[in-house]
Structure 1
Amino acid sequence: MILLKYKAVLLLLLLACFNAAAQPAFTSSDKAVEKAFNWAKEQALHYRGAATDPVGPWYESALPPRSAFCMRDVSHQCIGAEILGLSRENTNMFNLFAGHISQSKDWCSYWEINKWNKPAPDDYRNDKEFWYNLPANFDVLNASWRMYLWTGNRHYIDAPAFVNFQQRTVNEYISIWVLAADSLLKRPAHPNAPVPYNESDSFHRCRGLPSYSEGVQNLKTGVDLVAALYRGMITYSEILNNKGKHKEAAVYAQKAQKYLARLEADWWSDKDDQYYTYYSNTGQFGKDEGETFLLWFDALKDTVRANKTLDRVTAAKINVENMSYYPFLFYKFGRWDKGREYMLLLSDPSTARREYPEVSYGIIEGVTQGLMGISPDARTQTLITIYKTDTAGNASISNVPLLNTNINLAHLSRQQSAIKNTGAKAFKWKAMFYGTFKHAAVNGKTIAVKIGKDLQNKPVSFVETAVNPGQNVNVKVY
């Protein structure tokens, strides 16, 4: 009884402290992770641009000397940014990417935009000569959907500029860049090259680079582009379903399966027990970086192959940009110890280039979506939470904006969580816990729990309850 009273007092103190903070705050019995979060928060907010800049609200998401934001980086950093309260920045930058898609650029947008509201000169000369990585359109398409699911802001899927971006990306963009599922190994090297073509000019050679891997020469298709195409088709299908356009959605879901089929049939090497990462213009498969994006775009449905890819990614020595994806990805795919390990590694002062913007935003997402298991879904106004740890202890995070409201969440143990709705909109809380339990106490009232499984088929117990504005809810399973 004394212990229960102590936990109740601790919870009230935590919630009171949460309400006093202007920015998200994270506390944990794991002080190493708490330190990593605090460093990442300070570092990430350091990259917040001035709202008075010509481009409007923005944050650094490219090589810092450029004062710019890049399509790939923003697609990765946006959830971390939203957690940190950079909502206006996200909306503005996504508006710009969506709004700048054009026929004159063969349905590309600007790969990188700077604070002066110009396409970054490092990557752009004119509409015929510029650098562009083809997975970017699908990455932004998927990111705008994830932003809707997190925030509940339908602007990301309904605004005319976004609808136009979606439609052009899944139709004209695929056609003009020869990206149909059965064309990926036969497409020309440079479908829309400037005339006359200059191989030594990167704005000619890389105008439509078919991968995020920029160091591979003579590249026809990267495996990350295949994964991005799959994810783009699935995402657009989900958007259409959300709008009640179920027949049209089914068409794009079928297209997605064609890319998935080609990925498994063409890109897996039985000899090497891994996926190839690129296909060259000389007709040769090869292996370089790129496996990270198979996981990022969630394109691996064969469990055995997915686990072998995770093993390889875990063991590989890779650049800091790729590693910045790992805290979120390893938690997502059930390798919590590795997720924690990379949060600590990436925040360590001895880690080279830890100041790259993606790193700090990746840690914020790793703690919030990873360790804390926060997963909102605006389609049903539902918030799922689950504490992803194998150790005893506690962790709490405050002032997290999502679903058009704000929350404070405390995992008091692996069997007890508490939440407060500090915003103005109600939501349904699906409080999940690892293990099989029979009962739960919801604010002291005993109810039966439901049993399910997570993505790795681990058993989970959960309850669902409404959380109204201003309400505190405490759930303990036993």
Structure 2
Amino acid sequence: MVSRLMILAFISLFASIITPADAQQNSITFTSSNPDLQTAFSRAKEMALHYKGKPEDPVGPWYESALPPRYAFCMRDVAHQAIPAEALGLTDANKNMFTLFAKNISESKDWCSYWEINRYGKPAPEDYRNDTAFWYNLNANFDIMNACWKLYLWTGDKDYISHPTFKYFHDKSASDYINRWVLQPDSLLTRPAHPNAGAAYNDEDAFHRARGLPSYSEGVPNMKMGIDLVAAIYRGLLSYAAILKENGKTAESKKIEQEAALYQTHIDKHWWDEKENLYNTFYSNKGAFGKNEGETFLFWFSALSDSARKRHTIEHLLNNTWNVENMSYFPYIFYQNGYWDEAAKYMLLLTDPKTERREYPEVSYGVILGFVNGLMGIQPDARYNRVETIYKANNNESCFIENVPLLGTNISVKHQPGSSEFTNNGERKVIWRAQFYGSHNNLVANGRTQKAVVGKDASGKMVSYTDVSVDPQKKVVVSVK
């Protein structure tokens, strides 16, 4: 493990080549009646923007999303950091980085892209020698495809789903990539360990051995399949189905959606350990299941259907020790699954100066995601020009987030117990779906009573909402009647 002192030294060196702190002006801010939360947000924002690249870097706009000091971005980290990067105003960087990943997919690499690209616009030498020898985690294509769908929903930028470069990436990832790496649903436990090994394959060469790792968990030898890869394929294909549908290809979308369901069924059928009440996380080349990392991604990719199994898995995450990369997903995961207090505790922990390796770039972005999408419940949907909000807190605190860029506008949201305020700071009308926990017959929008729609959120909690059109430069307050 890289020591905290080494990371701090790397960051000190990195600070000399990145954009200075004045890049934080006119960007997202957060205030709260809870001073600890406010401090956590400030620390996360400062650290995240610390990693923004300089305009003159040859690669173009970018932000650090790999182990410092490589001055690079890797596919897994970027897929995780993309939405908080949007909230931080790094839209140009996202577009550039995702375009580079998409356009570098190639048959000579068996439909992989470059796992990691550096600030010079080159595949990072730490992970790439040539097209036959490089490091690559097979989850990556599906994670990027899912992130592209999320970015479209957040920004409304259709390039992510319909530009020829992205279309080619999505189409090849959902077909030739799966075939080349033997990732069909009925082959997951029988596939060869290295399906694309050539005659020159050398198991002692890490760039041969790791060319197509079947998991994000890199410390398990002789792995045939990781449960996180199965989850990634499931979610990636569902995102691809949504992309096809949005592009008017309804029949193709339905077919891919049915194919995706087979991977979720596979998880339920083969990976649960009844005795331990836990999921196995890998399957070895010796034909045995085992447990290591991987559970985090079952939630990142929303790949679980059984509520009892989800609960057991969350409790296992909460009651064990994990590295900081895994923990960086926890604020999002716990907010999404109804563990709000635990999510908030992790946001404080991950921004505590005493926490080991908190400087890893993914950590600060994970915390920002916890604030924006988690605590404040902000979720735009470009399909309907709509922004959902819901406050996820078990106390009487008030929280106010300002200058969140999305859907071609800029919004601010203030939550208090029983009341939410939405300000459209931009020049484009949006629909605000104001949501509140609990079952309510009516909600009050700017003094006018409106019939509420009642349903449930992803964690099964009762939710009531109403939709309100918010013009540019206007403010609306909705409260529980």
TM-score range (shorter-chain normalised) is over 0.9
CA deviations 1:220-266 (Å, max 9, x no partner) are 11010000111111111111111221111111111111111111111
Q: Does 1:160 align with 2:160?
A: no
In structure 2, the partner of 1:11 is none
Task: State the alpha-carbon separation in 2 of the partners of residues 465 and 52 from structure 1.
Answer: 43
In structure 1, the partner of 2:421 is 418
Task: State the alpha-carbon separation in 2 of the partners of residues 283 and 449 from structure 1.
Answer: 53
CA deviations 1:403-443 (Å, max 9, x no partner) are 111101111x2211111111121111110111223332211
Task: State the alpha-carbon separation in 2 of the partners of residues 299 and 448 from structure 1.
Answer: 34
In structure 1, the partner of 2:147 is 143
After TM superposition, list the pairs within 5 Å mapping 1:90-101 onto structure 2. 90-101=94-105
In structure 2, the partner of 1:457 is 460
In structure 1, the partner of 2:375 is 371
Equivalent position to 1:353, from 335, 348, 357: 357
Task: State the alpha-carbon separation in 2 of the partners of residues 449 and 247 from structure 1.
Answer: 34
Task: State the alpha-carbon separation in 1 of the partners of residues 161 and 74 from structure 2.
Answer: 20
Q: Does 1:205 align with 2:213?
A: no
Amino acid corresponding to residue 353 of structure 1 in structure 2: R
Amino acid corresponding to residue 104 of structure 1 in structure 2: S
Amino acid corresponding to residue 128 of structure 2 in structure 1: Y
8 Å Cα contact 1:62-1:69 kept in structure 2: yes
In structure 2, the partner of 1:232 is 236
Amino acid corresponding to residue 139 of structure 2 in structure 1: P
8 Å Cα contact 1:467-1:473 kept in structure 2: yes
In structure 2, the partner of 1:223 is 227
Amino acid corresponding to residue 452 of structure 2 in structure 1: V
In structure 2, the partner of 1:264 is 268
8 Å Cα contact 1:194-1:204 kept in structure 2: no
In structure 2, the partner of 1:4 is none
CA deviations 1:330-378 (Å, max 9, x no partner) are 0011100110010011011111000000000000010010000001111
- Secondary structure of the residue aligned to 1:232 is helix
Q: Does 1:107 align with 2:121?
A: no
CA deviations 1:175-229 (Å, max 9, x no partner) are 0000000001100010112431111110000000000000000011101000011
Once superposed, what is the RMSD of the aligned Cα atoms? 1.1
After alignment, is 68-77 or 423-432 more displaced?
A: 423-432
Equivalent position to 1:121, from 122, 125, 134: 125
In structure 1, the partner of 2:11 is none
- Secondary structure of the residue aligned to 2:69 is helix
In structure 1, the partner of 2:301 is 297
8 Å Cα contact 1:414-1:434 kept in structure 2: no
In structure 2, the partner of 1:445 is 448
- Secondary structure of the residue aligned to 1:65 is coil
Amino acid corresponding to residue 300 of structure 1 in structure 2: L
Equivalent position to 2:437, from 434, 443, 449: 434
- Secondary structure of the residue aligned to 2:174 is helix
Task: State the alpha-carbon separation in 2 of the partners of residues 441 and 353 from structure 1.
Answer: 46
8 Å Cα contact 2:162-2:247 kept in structure 1: no
Q: Does 1:170 align with 2:174?
A: yes
In structure 2, the partner of 1:244 is 248
Tell me how far 1:304 sits from its aligned partner. 1.0
Tell me how far 1:444 sits from its aligned partner. 1.7
Task: State the alpha-carbon separation in 2 of the partners of residues 343 and 193 from structure 1.
Answer: 42
Amino acid corresponding to residue 454 of structure 1 in structure 2: D
Identical aligned pairs, as a percentage?
A: 54
Tell me how far 1:393 sits from its aligned partner. 1.6
In structure 1, the partner of 2:19 is none
Equivalent position to 1:475, from 461, 475, 478: 478
Task: State the alpha-carbon separation in 1 of the partners of residues 207 and 441 from structure 2.
Answer: 62
In structure 2, the partner of 1:15 is none
Tell me how far 1:457 sits from its aligned partner. 2.2
Amino acid corresponding to residue 55 of structure 1 in structure 2: V
Amino acid corresponding to residue 130 of structure 1 in structure 2: F
8 Å Cα contact 2:336-2:459 kept in structure 1: no
Q: Which runs of 5+ in 2 are unaligned?
A: 1-23
8 Å Cα contact 1:414-1:433 kept in structure 2: no
Amino acid corresponding to residue 36 of structure 1 in structure 2: A
Tell me how far 1:118 sits from its aligned partner. 0.5
Equivalent position to 2:49, from 45, 51, 57: 45
After alignment, is 93-102 or 446-455 more displaced?
A: 446-455
Task: State the alpha-carbon separation in 1 of the partners of residues 52 and 368 from structure 2.
Answer: 15
After alignment, is 430-439 or 396-405 more displaced?
A: 430-439
Q: Which runs of 5+ in 1 are unaligned?
A: 1-19
Task: State the alpha-carbon separation in 1 of the partners of residues 115 and 277 from structure 2.
Answer: 34
Tell me how far 1:21 sits from its aligned partner. 6.2
8 Å Cα contact 1:427-1:468 kept in structure 2: yes
Amino acid corresponding to residue 457 of structure 1 in structure 2: G
Amino acid corresponding to residue 80 of structure 2 in structure 1: H
Task: State the alpha-carbon separation in 1 of the partners of residues 137 and 443 from structure 2.
Answer: 50
Task: State the alpha-carbon separation in 1 of the partners of residues 172 and 459 from structure 2.
Answer: 35
Task: State the alpha-carbon separation in 1 of the partners of residues 25 and 207 from structure 2.
Answer: 47
Question: Kindly tell me: are residues 380 and 312 of structure 1, through their superposed partners in 2, closer, same or farther at Cα, counting changes over 3 Å?
Answer: same
Q: TM-score, normalised by structure 2?
A: 0.94
In structure 2, the partner of 1:399 is 403
Task: State the alpha-carbon separation in 2 of the partners of residues 76 and 185 from structure 1.
Answer: 27
- Secondary structure of the residue aligned to 1:90 is helix
8 Å Cα contact 2:112-2:177 kept in structure 1: yes
CA deviations 1:3-41 (Å, max 9, x no partner) are xxxxxxxxxxxxxxxxx9601000011111110000000
In structure 2, the partner of 1:12 is none
Task: State the alpha-carbon separation in 2 of the partners of residues 305 and 382 from structure 1.
Answer: 32
Moved over 3 A (4+): none
Amino acid corresponding to residue 230 of structure 1 in structure 2: Y
Task: State the alpha-carbon separation in 2 of the partners of residues 297 and 441 from structure 1.
Answer: 35
Tell me how far 1:313 sits from its aligned partner. 1.1
Task: State the alpha-carbon separation in 2 of the partners of residues 222 and 343 from structure 1.
Answer: 28
- Secondary structure of the residue aligned to 2:145 is helix
In structure 1, the partner of 2:63 is 59
- Secondary structure of the residue aligned to 1:241 is helix
